[in-house]
Structure 1
């Protein structure tokens, strides 16, 4: 998100922070995800709301009438802030609504350590799903009803992860917005990291890293990227040796398998 939309997102987030101090944040997060579903599902509504010839008051009035008696006043306030802001595209507006929904959902985990634990929970569940094709099929099959998927997530995770993790996994499963389940979990993890003002580095290694090695790697990556780094470590024996590190869209591949693959690509070219 850039330019006009980026500035609007920063302002909407700032206004959200003022609301979070005086409302039940779990409810707010849940209701904001319902707003996301409404905006995502109604193309004509999105187009009307991002039309800059419409007045902010008319946009606020419309979203208020659609949500009245269905959600809390706090949710209507945040939704009004979102639709009154200026967005380059309807997609940017929906993405912003999703981001503030995540921020509200995790607001009860203000401590840096607890946000880190949530990042770990989302990462671990993503790896569990990737390793169990039958479970993945049950959670992603379009023929399976949303209610059944939500119940399955509840049975799998209730009491085993934080309420915020349960809410975000349920959202990723039931309303993927065109993402795969793994992409959805990764996306939410990135937003949690954004809330904690750090980046996530997904580290693939053939053997476990010791605590000093992890600390050193965090130190180096923090220096390189200029921001605190949270490590998600995946043990992958197939890479033989070395490390593969992904931070956002950037991949640093220092594995033996990666170097062999590069040689093969050059020979083939």
Structure 2
């Protein structure tokens, strides 16, 4: 079974657990912290994958590292250690966050611009995206990228809306090359 399918199943189970216990938002916040730790620490993955370190020792480290987590989140991570599935933890969290966002009518977008967007620009862009995509709210992550020259590029999931100057120049370049 592919890792994506397995990750989705764990995420679905966590989501259902969060709904049943009415701790969905708490799990969402806790798992975001876990995701940041796993993304920023390659040594943790190496430790958790090491075949000579027994699972009890790995779980002890995780209990110490994530002492403030709820028992449900911590037990899920410990279960993944027992089943030798620690490499899919970030993928599980990504699927879980998507499920929570879908349930709340929220979407996440990454906005690339040459400078930091002002609060008024962020609000206007968020309102436009809310109307266009029929969502309750958009969480915008602004990334400053001088290589786009001007305009903005928006990434929502796997969809990219490119209104940047560099994107327009690339399209013109492709048109010229294909015309010859």
- TM-score bracket for the superposition, by shorter chain length: 0.5 to 0.7
Q: CA RMSD in A?
A: 4.5
Selected match of 1:250 from 130, 134, 159: 159
Distance 2:31 2:126 in 1: 15
Q: Which sections of structure 1, spanning at least 5 residues, go unmatched?
A: 1-39, 42-90
SS of the aligned residue for 1:244 comes to: strand
CA deviation after TM superposition for structure 1 residue 253, in Å:
1.3
Selected match of 2:12 from 95, 99, 102: 99
CA offsets per residue over residues 138-177 of structure 1, 9 Å max, x none? 5379854695877776666655xx659x75x956x81518
CA deviation after TM superposition for structure 1 residue 193, in Å:
0.4
Distance 1:217 1:102 in 2: 30
CA deviation after TM superposition for structure 1 residue 185, in Å:
4.4
In the alignment of these two chains, the number of paired residues is 164
Selected match of 1:188 from 80, 96, 119: 96
Distance 1:194 1:200 in 2: 10
TM-score, normalised with respect to structure 1: 0.44
CA offsets per residue over residues 104-159 of structure 1, 9 Å max, x none? 2474145xxx78x839946x839x93xx6xx3475379854695877776666655
Q: Which sections of structure 2, spanning at least 5 residues, go unmatched?
A: none
Question: Is 1:239 paired with 2:151?
Answer: no
CA deviation after TM superposition for structure 1 residue 249, in Å:
2.7
Match of 1:262 in 2: 171
Closer, same or farther in 2 for the Cα pair 1:163/1:218, shift >3 Å? farther
Closer, same or farther in 2 for the Cα pair 1:101/1:120, shift >3 Å? closer
Distance 2:98 2:15 in 1: 10
Closer, same or farther in 2 for the Cα pair 1:121/1:143, shift >3 Å? closer
Selected match of 2:125 from 179, 193, 217: 217
Distance 1:152 1:254 in 2: 46
Question: Is 1:199 paired with 2:107?
Answer: yes
